[in-house]
Structure 1
Amino acid sequence: SITPRLDPEYVEFHNNLVAQILPPRAMPWNPGTRYEVAMPGASVLLQVGSTKDINLRKCWIRVIALPRSPHSRGWPVFI
């Protein structure tokens, strides 16, 4: 299990809000669902310091930096 390696705040968010949600692909089709927010955290965009797309030959990654200076040990990473 990778759970012990995850940020405890993310684990709490996932367990309390995401894990019990039936994904839209598993629901019967209803045109009204396109007007609802499908997942918690998927609505309002947050302000970021910068966004950079990097080509790693076989895939692209998007690096998003916070709008402030990094901690002394660098930025946290979520993959």
Structure 2
Amino acid sequence: MNVRSGTRFDLDYINFKVAKGATYERVLIIATGPIATFLQRGTPLAPGPAATFYVAVTRAQQSVAIVVDRPGQSLIPYWEP
């Protein structure tokens, strides 16, 4: 996945950096390369991607969901249709 991955969904979306300072009831994150690798394999994030992921995750007041193609070896509980 890349920065344009979210455009395939029919949703209102914003860039992680644009979301900084905003809050939302629920947040759906489309994971891009380094974030997907972090979730799937536990590979540590570099400071830049870690900071933007933190911003994305902390925008939600109620819930956060993260979209990845495959969960891989993620230790985070996941839902699969």
Question: How does the TM-score come out when normalised to structure 2?
Answer: 0.25
Give 1 or 2: higher helix fraction: 2
Higher CA-based Rg: 1
Question: How does the TM-score come out when normalised to structure 1?
Answer: 0.25
